[in-house]
């Protein structure tokens, strides 16, 4: 991470809450969305799924998945090429070997041998190496809309689960890592010989255009696959119950919030998704006030 950005991040994170929100609105471009969302399924009969909710509600931590565990096998795919001259391939290999501590004579001989190999063989090996390293990348995905009918259907067990609401400014040090995903019909091309590291950023934030409805933002942490990432408890500000949730689901959600309160953590507002009477859309209702809809800006992406 850039040193200047680290210093700026520490300075902003140290500001009081409202000053921090104002600073983010004034200084960050493109402007970041105020809220992030995470849809989760759970079953009253499945203790493991309930414990996954407890991770977020009580333990204040996010599970970083490996891309090989995604439901989309094309996610983070890339076309790795080695487009250039034999000399460029030799120099690139030599620089890589030097960075890994290989002695001068050994790496010079190996670099010459490498440069003489067919480009197709090199690219095939690079592609395989990329796929192997991808397994170790940790990813946590946020959604961009709490009212998405498709997201509730696909990721919250047909509207019986929950959707968590996070406020970025309440833990900007962690949630600043949530970057916007781009959608395309083609793999990004990465040239191993030039701007390889810079190009990887595009790969890690690219998905097929069919997933655009997710409006995804994701935290990507190389080497942290299948680990937990802690966040400030205050960053979790809301939990929305699906419109098809049964009484058991509601009771479990409430029990987790009570467990959170007993742990001395900041309060989380409880909402409910409700089917609109005449339109194909959901409304978000504050459960503390029956039939009173939230103000439009409470759950808007822009805040």
Residues of the chain with pLDDT under 50: 289-298, 300-303
Q: Provide the pLDDT for residue 1.
A: 53
**132, HSE (Cβ side, Cα atoms, 13 Å):** 6
Contact 171, 231 (CB under 8 A): yes
Q: Provide the pLDDT for residue 294.
A: 42
Over pLDDT 70: what percentage of the chain?
Answer: 94
Q: In which residue are the tokens 């809809």 written?
A: 293
HEC-encoded secondary structure of 42-110: CCCCCHHHHHHHHHHHCCCEEEEECHHHCCCCCCCCCEEECCCCHHHHHHHHHHHHHHCCCCHHHHHHH
Q: Provide the pLDDT for residue 13.
A: 86
Compute φ and ψ for 196, nearest 5 degrees: -65, -50
Tokens read off for 214? 């997710």
Contact 301, 145 (CB under 8 A): yes
Q: First CA to last CA across the chain, in angstroms? A: 27
């Amino acid at each position: 991470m850039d040193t200047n950005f680290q210093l700026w991040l520490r300075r902003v994170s140290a500001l009081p809450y409202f000053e921090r929100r104002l600073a983010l609105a004034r200084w960050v471009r493109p402007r970041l969305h105020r809220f992030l969302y995470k849809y989760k399924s759970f079953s009253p009969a499945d203790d493991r799924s309930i414990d996954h909710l407890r991770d977020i509600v009580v333990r204040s931590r996010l599970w970083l998945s490996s891309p090989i565990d995604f439901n989309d096998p094309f996610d983070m795919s890339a076309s790795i090429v080695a487009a250039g001259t034999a000399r460029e391939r030799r120099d690139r290999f030599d620089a890589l070997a030097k960075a890994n501590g290989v002695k001068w004579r050994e790496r010079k001989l190996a670099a010459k041998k490498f440069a003489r190999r067919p480009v197709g063989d090199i690219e095939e090996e690079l592609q395989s190496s990329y796929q192997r390293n991808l397994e170790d990348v940790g990813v946590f995905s946020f959604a961009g809309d709490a009212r998405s009918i498709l997201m509730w259907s696909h990721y919250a067990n047909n509207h019986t689960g929950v959707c968590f609401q996070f406020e970025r400014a309440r833990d900007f040090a962690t949630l600043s890592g949530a970057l916007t995903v781009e959608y395309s019909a083609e793999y990004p091309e990465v040239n191993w010989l030039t701007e390889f590291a810079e190009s990887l950023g595009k790969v890690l934030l690219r998905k097929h255009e069919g997933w655009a409805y997710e409006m995804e933002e994701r935290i990507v942490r190389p080497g942290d696959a299948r680990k937990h990432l802690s966040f400030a408890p205050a960053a979790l500000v809301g939990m929305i119950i699906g419109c098809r949730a049964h009484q058991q689901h509601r009771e479990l959600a409430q029990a987790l919030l009570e467990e959170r309160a007993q742990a001395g953590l900041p309060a989380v507002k409880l909402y409910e998704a409700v089917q609109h009477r005449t339109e194909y859309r959901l409304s978000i209702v504050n459960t503390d006030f029956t039939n009173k809809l939230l103000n439009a800006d409470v759950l808007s992406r822009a805040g």
